[in-house]
A and B are shown apart, each in its own frame.
Chain A
């Protein structure tokens, strides 16, 4: 069964600290993995996308890693800011015949950054 599991479910950190969010998946055939940031009451915004051959992808203070062998990904946030408070969603894409990609969404990690 295609599944995406994220941990922790929620996390509280102090402003300026680093944190790492985890994503484990059992999706096949794997196409790519994307991390989204979703502010409360808003739509998700893409942070990074990685294909099978990519190990690391950065976007400012956000760095995503991918280990396709163990089917794990992480999102590392450096020097957190209050504006980083949001839900972070891991999405894995499975490619099927005809070029259609099916997306499997994780439930997200809710991050709260406190001053």
Chain B
């Protein structure tokens, strides 16, 4: 079955540490996205990529970095500059084109601070 795989499901970060969240898709989608979900708030876009080797900042990119070296993979690094990283992180993918928007979501990674 095609889908999006996020790992790990739970992740803990120490002060001053960078951590990387994995996102892999086998849907052959061109576009991939990272969202952050906090209690009582709507999803907020961190970064998105519409094609390999290209990505753009979303609404809350500060303290995060991404890469898109392969079509299937879009890892997110939460750097030490992100002072409030505790959240549920969701990766999504979609086909490219005029209706370019997330169609499939992974099951998320919950990041907490030690």
The answer to whether A and B belong to the same complex is yes
| Interface residue tally for chain A (C-beta within 8 Å) | 22
B positions within 8 Å CB-CB of A: 4, 6, 40-45, 90, 92, 97-103, 105-108, 110
Looking at chain A's contact residues, the main secondary structure is: strand
Complex contacts, A95 vs chain B, CB 8 Å = 98
Residue A4 at the chain B interface, CB threshold 8 Å: yes
Decide: A101 near B101, CB < 8 A? Known: A41-B107, A43-B107, A43-B108.
yes
B107 touches A103 (CB 8 A): no
CA distance A14 to B43 in the complex (A): 29
A104 touches B42 (CB 8 A): yes
Complex contacts, B44 vs chain A, CB 8 Å = 105
B40 touches A107 (CB 8 A): yes
Q: In the complex, what's the smallest C-beta–C-beta distance from B90 to chain A, in angstroms?
A: 6
Complex contacts, A93 vs chain B, CB 8 Å = 101
Complex contacts, A44 vs chain B, CB 8 Å = 43, 90, 105
A107 touches B97 (CB 8 A): no
Cβ contacts A87-105/B at 8 Å (1 or 0 each):
0010001010001110111
Q: Which residue of the partner chain A has the closest CB to B98?
A: A99
From the candidates B6, B40, B103, name the one contacting A46 in the complex (CB within 8 A). B103
